[in-house]
Amino acid sequence: MLLNNRYRIIRSLGSGGFGETFLAEDTQIPSTRQCVIKQLKLFQDSPQTYQLVRQRFAREAAILEALGDGSPQIPRLYAYFNEGQRFYLAQEYIQGQTLSETVVSGSLSESRVREILISLLKLLEYVHSQGIVHRDIKPENIIIRSSDNQPVLIDFGAVRETMTAQVNSQGNVTSSIVIGTPGFMPIEQAAGRAVFASDLYSLGLVAIYLLTAKLPQELQTDAHNGEIIWSKNAVSHNLAAVLDRAIRSHVKERFSTAKEMLEALQPQPTLQVVPSSRQIAKPTKGGNWFKSILMGSVIGGCVLLAFVFIQKNQQSQQITEEPKPIETPIPVNTPPIKPPNSFYFLADSAFRELNNANNQITDLKNAGYNQAGKFWLQDYPNLSNNPYHQVYAAKFSSLTNCIESLRSYVQANKNAYCALASQDTNASPNYFYGSQIKSPKIDSKPSPSQAVTDYYTTINNRNYSSSWNQLSPRFQRNKSNNSYSEYIDWWNKVQRVAVEQAKTVSTSSNTATVEVQMKYYLKSGRVIADAQQFKLVWNATQQNWNFDDSSKLN
């Protein structure tokens, strides 16, 4: 039996009081994409309730669609429908382990918990900005995605609340069901008044669970004030203080926003004046001299501040006594300098320690790379959320300009590459590695049919960033909605591709047409035979053929 004449059930993933969840495949698309089907049932069986829930369900589905389109850490909504007295959601299938499954093998390190917390706080900042409270943040509802090791948030409580709506005899809408999970749910949410800080309370307890491998019910509480007591011995003071505040009983004592909690978790270093035992500066010939120069590198935004204090000296005599250090007030309420939204860079290396990154920049500048610099990877979520300082040899306005510099730079660093750093999470990094640069051939170009075969070899080797860069912008837009994440989501469902035949049917100086017979071996066990005609265009910069269009062959 097919649900909605489209979705074939593969197996059950779980069930509960609100319905059942299945793994299914979409029979109406060539890839037979796997998805999650959530079957939701009404709590009250009456025509009035059915009509009410149907209207609310459509509204909540629209919200889920918008949330999924706005963040790669929320499953995308593919469809919603109803059959009989049941309602269904078809959503993106996230391959990975829940945090509950992850902790089975033991608690996580503080550094890993910080990474997960930071990623989820950024996600909640987005969710809350849409006016949505999740209301059921718990380890079972957070999946660490296998493809990129990022946490994905599932099962928003608003849909389940819709299913519990009832219409009484007076025609009033009621709901006596509280959405949330005991232990992870704060007092105000249990009373039916969830706020943004309620999600932060739940997230704080999730972090404690990851650090201690203990559920909230296993933790002690203070007999005087009712606050939760947990072991902080192996945790830094900063993290312990942040989590303690997040799980306060009274909502007014917690962080009010995800951004506020995120800033507390990533405190900015303070700038201090360090007294020197040496003479600070000598007077110049004209009598003006520099009293002190204080420079600090702020890690989060790679901001370089310099405070220069100049004092006039009316006498040109030599200073014989050591001047006292000046206590310089640090400016307050100065808005931070925001890093650029996006730029291409020629990557050299990455370091966890700031000092090591600064030393590498010094070495690069001494070698003649005057534009060398660094940025914090977490400022650009399309690249990575790892706490590393990326060192680059230069910045560029386009990928083409970066690749031109990469041609010579790989002689000094064979691991160098070009990429786009963007604050748009969904933006493609457009990685281009030095190994992709090919020497131009004087008399002939590479075989178009061999280029197609090599492309699928790259796919089979899981080098998706390289294969993505072999697609023209038009191909990326038309075949993958210009979304790198959608592109790799499809290929993550494929075990391998077997190219049985690749034949060049036409070629010119800059274009070619190749017909290909191949088979997709899916991870689900299915095998799909396919025949495609690809139109290729010659990329003079990369010195290779790019896929520009495709059509199925009969």
Q: Which residues are catalytic?
A: 136
Counting DSSP H helices and E strands in the chain, the numbers are: 14, 24
Amino acid at 445: K
The H or E element spanning position 535 is: strand 527-539
Structure-block tokens of residue 302? 């790679």
Length of the chain: 554
The H or E element spanning position 534 is: strand 527-539
- Other beta carbons less than 10 A from residue 292's beta carbon: 16
Structure-block tokens of residue 279? 């003479």
CB 326 within 8 A of CB 291: yes
CA distance 59 to 49: 15
CA distance 31 to 479: 13
CB-count burial class (<10 Å; 0-12, 13-18, 19+) for 270: exposed
CB 114 within 8 A of CB 239: yes
Structure-block tokens of residue 32? 């037979």
CB-count burial class (<10 Å; 0-12, 13-18, 19+) for 420: buried
CA 419 to chain centre: 16
Determine the 3-state secondary structure of 110 from DSSP. helix
CA distance 446 to 448: 6
Mapped to the 3 state alphabet, what secondary structure does 412-477 carry?
A: CCCCCEEEEEECCCCCCCCCEEHHHCCCCCCCCCCCHHHHHHHHHHHHHCCCHHHHHCCECHHHHH
Q: Rounded to the nearest 5°, which phi and psi values hold at 185? A: -105, 125
- Other beta carbons less than 10 A from residue 333's beta carbon: 4
Is the Cα dihedral 43, 49, 50, 51 positive or negative? negative
- The C-alpha angle 147, 149, 153, rounded to 5 degrees, equals 100
Q: Which residues contact 201 (CB under 8 A, 6 or more apart)?
A: 186, 189, 246, 247, 248, 251, 254
Q: Left (φ > 0), alpha (ψ -120 to 50) or beta: where does 110 sit? A: alpha
Nearest to 346 by CA among 472, 432, 270: 432
